[in-house]
A and B are shown apart, each in its own frame.
Chain A
Amino acid sequence: MEKFVPVKRSDDGQPVRYLIVDDSVFARKNLARMVETFGGTVVGEAGDGISAISEYDRLTPDIVLMDITMPQMEGIEAAEKIVRNHPSARIVMVSSVGYQENIVAALQRGARHFVQKPVKPEVLYEVIKYVMRDETTTAKSAGAGV
């Protein structure tokens, strides 16, 4: 796999902490392997939107990689609920269903970015770097309902 310059948290230089949310164990393992090559640490995993909310509350990760189509509660609704309670949450939607309406709905409800499956490591890496940029800049663009 390609070598990436590790992405670190700007405030303390520590590895970025990830919560990976996907109903597929296989997809979670692949994403975990990918973010580890970016120098990140997977602090938690969840298989549906409801677990994602409780895991976020418990772990407060730096980034959530969130699938959309999941049982019990879908990713967009979970993202909205997480952002309502944690306005600074950085959520990146990672889904194979990437039509315009879905992307717009996810961004309007607080997701910071969208990556379509199958995930190319170099694309996810650039998105992670973008989302981890200066907090005020990112918060402004998310608030504008991009």
Chain B
Amino acid sequence: MRMDLIQPFINSADAVLAQGLGSSIFIENLTMEKEAYRRHGIAAEVCLAGEIEGRIIFDVELGTALQLASRLAAVEISETDEGLAREAVCELANQVIGNAVTALNDEGFHFHVLPPSLLTSEQGSKSTEDTEALVMCFRTYSGNVFMNVALHYHRRETTERAAGAR
């Protein structure tokens, strides 16, 4: 997977999480994954369509999601408000991915982002050679946030775009 496609997601997650939580964020771990995706807790998926296609999954354990939601909403959110914690994870995914998509579009990649949806299955489909997933773990003071990025880059269309720009 091309690093120039991934870097905006790392930058965006760092910036959005740091702003929302008002504290520093650390990238704990960064691995390539060819096995099927396994959910950690509350997971939101955002799909991209266009010159870059694929999906990004934002995954947070329930306790962390409750803490994140409480920090972002500036009110205490308890386990009885799990629905709101799910909404918070979806909104966080939307903001991180939206900001990354903005950076990529301004660099000339054209694609569309679909609204986030909650993942309920324990396991996703296996990655392929074209869409092997990059898994990142961001350590925050509220707990770990996992981002699983599997993108397919349409080489032919992009080559044509580059040729057209010459």
**Secondary structure at chain A's binding surface: helix, strand, loop or mixed?**
loop
A70 within 8 A of B: yes
Closest to A117 in B: B95
Q: A30–B98 contact, CB under 8 A? A: no
A51 at the interface (CB under 8 A from B): no
The bracket for how many chain B residues form the interface is 20 to 34
The answer on a CB contact under 8 Å between A26 and B102 is no
Q: Looking at the complex, which one of A33, A99, A118 makes contact with B105 (CB distance below 8 Å)?
A: A99
Which residues of chain B are near A97, meaning CB under 8 Å?
98, 101-102, 113
A96 to B113, CA, bound (A): 11
Residue of chain B at shortest CB distance from A74: B115
For the complex of A and B, the 5 pairs showing the least CB-CB separation, nearest first, are A96-B98, A99-B105, A26-B87, A97-B98, A96-B95
| Interface set of B (CB-CB < 8 Å, partner A) | 16, 19-20, 69, 72-74, 84, 87-88, 90-91, 94-99, 101-102, 105-106, 113-115
Q: A residues touching B (Cβ–Cβ < 8 Å)?
A: 1, 23-27, 29-30, 33, 69-71, 95-102, 116-118, 120
